[in-house]
């Protein structure tokens, strides 16, 4: 496994020069009355440097061993790989659990940008480990937004600190994407609690001994529930029932039936859970569990997209390190017998640049969304909050699906750079591929994300979400006109944006006539959208460099060079996607189902 070097300076440069995060955050009211005011970047620097030391020093060394050892179920108890329990204790002790959580519940109240960058580092260093706090945060979001004050007081401080972990129990054998089919029952008891009975599968971190309690958020049906998705409720089911002092007390009636044997994320226990009359409490209104679940899911979907980003960064670093060391052949046209590092070969550069074209702009885009989340939560103007929320809603499926697809592609490219060594376990690159693969599947497959974008998100308020986003990008392109050299970056972006706008209008029109058009377009449409969004960030990065004097520093030169590569060699894919989308659903629906 190659050493992990947290890209802290790049992260800070993006926040400062590309996203103007300092002024943007300083303009918002503080998260709590005693919150710090002014430029948060110096604090962020300290936090990120510390996070980088934790990820590189504590998590990365456990990544290969965690993959080899995996999790085990022993007499009903889940055992995590060696070192994970200690690493998780260090995570809790370091206060990483509540980084961007509300101070009210013990969080540190830092901007979500800090959380996203910590998530990226954890995904780069140890993808499996990052899932434990990742799921916990989803539970926190749902409880904070939807649970009673009593439940909040009882559970949030422990979950925010990370002393207790969270789990999301949605899927059942017959109910995955289609949650309307779920059967787990929740029966009201005289004391106001619920009795939960049923079986769930694919429950990430459903059980382990790293935390003193695990709080499951379980989707279930109340006795009077209408059928389908309108009859689903969200129930909080802790592994240990808190006693009067709030400490873990009696064991709840739930158990792990089995651990799944998986392609990757071996250090993350994927549990088959049985709830045998387990005690729980309703979160949110009866039958409104889906709304509460989407609070979790949206947080998780961004997190999963960031996992794709993190794995791409790890693949890039591993591949570059190898490409500098490994000597085979010589650059075209060079004389002499001595072999040169394979980094000289253009096809190796192509693979590395393709990864970096994603990680560079992907990180910027994720941070842009994190800033909008901050505005959505804290901006004093309701209209500004709503607009920010619209951008987050629009980009959430794009980040989940495109970042995990590109993250997987990046892992495959990074592995390819190592040739045969990339296929051998000890080098660690094939683990990145196996781990990355799950992110395209869980928290809603990428096909489901594409449907969310092309269906739901395009139709909100008659297309207001994409219209506002396109207007924003277009305004930036126009505003860049005064910067010398900007045209090389903004002209290809403007052309791609035009294609995306045309494709959006066409899809909206066609879908009104034939609903199958949405599904037939969804995946290609999402990729087209992602290309434009990434191209927008590359244009921003190039502009920031140009305004800072062009290629005056290595970082600014790199932004310009990779931006050019993206525009020249990757963004043309937007033309092909637009052409394919223009053909519509008919060529995809022609083959009769019996002929598959």
Residues in 344-403 at the binding interface with its own copies, rule: CB under 8 A: 344-353, 356
CA torsion sign for 303, 306, 311, 313 is: negative
What torsion, rounded to 10 degrees, do the Cα atoms 456, 462, 466, 470 define? 170
Site string for its own copies, 548-567 (x = CB under 8 A): ------x--xx--xx-xx-x
CB 215 within 8 A of CB 236: yes
Distances 161 to 158, 456, 466 between C-alpha atoms, Å: 5, 35, 37
Binder to its own copies among 228, 246, 277, 380 (CB under 8 A)?
228
Binder to its own copies among 102, 384, 505, 588 (CB under 8 A)?
588
Strand 270-283 and strand 254-259: pairing? antiparallel
Among the listed ranges 210-218, 231-239, 501-509, 510-518, the one in contact with its own copies (CB under 8 A) is 510-518
Nearer to its own copies, 110 or 343 (CB): 343
Write phi, then psi, for 589 (nearest 5 degrees): -105, -5
Binder to its own copies among 42, 277, 294, 423 (CB under 8 A)?
423
Nearer to its own copies, 111 or 422 (CB): 422
Using rule CB under 8 A, residue 322 touches its own copies: no
Nearer to its own copies, 113 or 526 (CB): 526
| Binding positions for its own copies, 118-137, rule CB under 8 A | none
Residue 595 Cβ vs its own copies, minimum distance, rounded to whole Å:
5
Using rule CB under 8 A, residue 572 touches its own copies: yes
Q: How far is the C-alpha of 48 from the C-alpha of 114, rounded, in Å?
A: 7
CB 455 within 8 A of CB 397: no
Binder to its own copies among 8, 307, 415, 490 (CB under 8 A)?
415
Write phi, then psi, for 252 (nearest 5 degrees): -80, 160
| Binding positions for its own copies, 3-62, rule CB under 8 A | none
Nearer to its own copies, 68 or 209 (CB): 68
Tell me the two tokens of residue 154.
């009882």
Which helix H or strand E contains 217, and what residues bound it? Answer: strand 213-220
Using rule CB under 8 A, residue 225 touches its own copies: no
Which helix H or strand E contains 409, and what residues bound it? Answer: helix 382-417
Among the listed ranges 28-36, 43-51, 335-343, 362-370, the one in contact with its own copies (CB under 8 A) is 335-343
Among the listed ranges 77-85, 139-147, 469-477, 581-589, the one in contact with its own copies (CB under 8 A) is 581-589
Residue 179 Cβ vs its own copies, minimum distance, rounded to whole Å:
9
Q: How far is the C-alpha of 201 from the C-alpha of 212, rounded, in Å?
A: 22
Using rule CB under 8 A, residue 481 touches its own copies: no
Nearer to its own copies, 108 or 446 (CB): 446
Tell me the two tokens of residue 228.
């389908």
Count interface residues toward its own copies (CB under 8 A). Answer: 104
CB 505 within 8 A of CB 485: no
Binder to its own copies among 65, 148, 274, 416 (CB under 8 A)?
416
Strand 240-242 and strand 248-251: pairing? antiparallel
Could you give the count of Cα atoms lying within 13 Å of 288 in the half-sphere of its Cβ? 12
Using rule CB under 8 A, residue 424 touches its own copies: yes
Collapsing DSSP to helix, strand or coil, 451 comes out as helix
Using rule CB under 8 A, residue 585 touches its own copies: yes
Nearer to its own copies, 81 or 264 (CB): 264
| Binding positions for its own copies, 67-96, rule CB under 8 A | none
Q: How far is the C-alpha of 79 from the C-alpha of 53, rounded, in Å?
A: 26
Among the listed ranges 40-48, 232-240, 332-340, 456-464, the one in contact with its own copies (CB under 8 A) is 332-340
Residue 32 Cβ vs its own copies, minimum distance, rounded to whole Å:
39
Residue 572 Cβ vs its own copies, minimum distance, rounded to whole Å:
4
Tell me the two tokens of residue 10.
């790049």
Residue 302 Cβ vs its own copies, minimum distance, rounded to whole Å:
20
Write phi, then psi, for 572 (nearest 5 degrees): -55, -20
Which helix H or strand E contains 518, and what residues bound it? Answer: helix 516-547
In the chain the first and final C-alpha atoms are separated, in Å, by: 42
| Binding positions for its own copies, 162-191, rule CB under 8 A | 171, 174-178, 180-181
CB 29 within 8 A of CB 381: no
Residue 112 Cβ vs its own copies, minimum distance, rounded to whole Å:
28
Among the listed ranges 11-19, 73-81, 415-423, 498-506, the one in contact with its own copies (CB under 8 A) is 415-423
Residue 429 Cβ vs its own copies, minimum distance, rounded to whole Å:
9
Nearer to its own copies, 237 or 412 (CB): 412
Place of tokens 């792990």: 256
Among the listed ranges 6-14, 307-315, 325-333, 479-487, the one in contact with its own copies (CB under 8 A) is 325-333
| Binding positions for its own copies, 431-470, rule CB under 8 A | 433-434, 437-438, 440-442, 445-447, 450-451
Alpha helices in 56-126 (DSSP H): 63-69, 84-93, 112-125
Q: How far is the C-alpha of 92 from the C-alpha of 543, rounded, in Å?
A: 40
Residue 295 Cβ vs its own copies, minimum distance, rounded to whole Å:
22
CB 262 within 8 A of CB 171: no
Nearer to its own copies, 35 or 447 (CB): 447
Binder to its own copies among 41, 168, 507, 520 (CB under 8 A)?
520
Q: Quick one: DSSP state of residue 343?
A: G
Nearer to its own copies, 33 or 346 (CB): 346
Binder to its own copies among 408, 469, 489, 529 (CB under 8 A)?
408
Q: How far is the C-alpha of 180 from the C-alpha of 170, rounded, in Å?
A: 11
Nearer to its own copies, 159 or 319 (CB): 319
Q: Which residues belong to the active site?
A: 443
Nearer to its own copies, 150 or 347 (CB): 347
| Binding positions for its own copies, 254-293, rule CB under 8 A | 260-264
Q: Quick one: DSSP state of residue 379?
A: -
What torsion, rounded to 10 degrees, do the Cα atoms 472, 119, 298, 257 define? 160
Print burial letters for 52-74: b (CB count within 10 Å at least 16), e (below 16).
bebbbebbbbbbbebbebbbebe
Binder to its own copies among 110, 159, 522, 541 (CB under 8 A)?
522
Residue 527 Cβ vs its own copies, minimum distance, rounded to whole Å:
11
Distances 478 to 4, 52, 176, 481 between C-alpha atoms, Å: 39, 38, 45, 6
């Amino acid at each position: 496994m190659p050493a992990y070097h947290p890209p802290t300076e790049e992260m800070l440069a993006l926040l400062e020069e590309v996203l103007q995060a300092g002024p943007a955050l300083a303009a918002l009211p503080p998260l709590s009355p005693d919150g710090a005011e002014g430029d948060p970047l110096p604090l962020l620097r300290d936090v990120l440097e510390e996070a980088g030391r934790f990820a590189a020093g504590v998590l990365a060394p456990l990544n290969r061993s965690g993959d080899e050892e995996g999790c085990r179920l022993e007499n009903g108890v889940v055992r995590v790989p060696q070192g994970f329990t200690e690493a998780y204790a260090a995570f809790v002790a370091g206060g990483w659990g509540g980084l961007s959580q509300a101070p009210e519940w013990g969080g540190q109240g830092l901007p979500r940008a800090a959380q996203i960058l910590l998530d990226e580092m954890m995904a780069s260093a140890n993808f499996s480990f990052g899932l434990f706090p990742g799921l916990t945060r989803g539970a926190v979001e749902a409880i904070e937004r939807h649970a009673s004050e009593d439940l909040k007081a009882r559970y949030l401080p422990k979950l925010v600190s990370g002393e207790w972990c969270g789990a999301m129990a949605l899927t059942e054998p017959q109910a995955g994407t289609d949650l309307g089919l779920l059967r787990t029952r929740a029966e009201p008891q005289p004391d106001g609690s619920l009795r939960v009975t049923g079986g769930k599968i694919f429950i990430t971190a459903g059980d382990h001994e790293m935390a003193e309690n695990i709080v499951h958020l379980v989707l279930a049906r109340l006795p009077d529930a209408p059928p389908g998705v309108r009859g689903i409720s969200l129930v909080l089911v802790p592994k240990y029932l808190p006693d009067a002092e709030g400490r873990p007390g009696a064991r709840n009636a739930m158990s792990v039936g089995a651990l799944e044997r998986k392609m990757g994320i071996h250090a993350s226990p994927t549990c088959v859970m049985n709830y045998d009359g387990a005690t729980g409490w309703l979160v949110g209104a009866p039958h409104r569990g889906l709304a509460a679940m989407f609070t979790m899911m949206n947080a998780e979907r961004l997190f999963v997209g960031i996992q794709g980003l993190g794995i791409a960064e790890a693949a890039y670093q591993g591949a570059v390190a190898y490409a500098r060391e490994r000597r085979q052949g010589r650059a075209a046209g060079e004389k002499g017998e001595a072999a040169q590092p394979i980094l000289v070969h253009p096809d190796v550069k192509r693979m590395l640049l393709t990864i970096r074209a994603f990680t560079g702009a992907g990180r910027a885009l994720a941070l842009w969304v994190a800033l909008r989340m901050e505005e959505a939560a804290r901006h004093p103007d309701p209209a500004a909050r709503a607009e920010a929320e619209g951008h987050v809603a629009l980009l959430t499926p794009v980040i989940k699906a495109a970042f995990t697809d590109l993250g997987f592609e990046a892992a495959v490219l990074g592995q390819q750079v190592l040739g045969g060594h990339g296929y051998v376990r000890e080098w660690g690159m094939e683990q990145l591929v196996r781990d990355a693969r799950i992110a395209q599947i869980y928290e809603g497959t990428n096909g489901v994300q594409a449907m969310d974008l092309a269906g739901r998100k395009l139709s909100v308020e008659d297309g207001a979400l994409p219209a506002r986003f396109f207007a924003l990008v277009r305004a930036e392109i126009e505003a860049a006109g005064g910067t010398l050299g900007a045209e090389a970056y903004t002209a290809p972006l403007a052309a791609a944006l035009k294609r995306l706008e045309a494709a959006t209008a066409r899809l909206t029109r066609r879908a009104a006539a034939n609903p199958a058009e949405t599904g037939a377009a969804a995946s290609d449409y999402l990729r087209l959208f992602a290309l434009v969004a990434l191209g927008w960030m590359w244009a921003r990065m190039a502009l920031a460099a140009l305004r800072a004097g062009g290629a005056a520093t290595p970082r600014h030169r790199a932004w310009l060079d990779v931006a050019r590569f993206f525009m020249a060699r990757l963004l043309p894919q937007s033309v092909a996607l637009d052409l394919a989308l223009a053909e519509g659903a008919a060529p995809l629906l022609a083959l009769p189902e019996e002929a598959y």
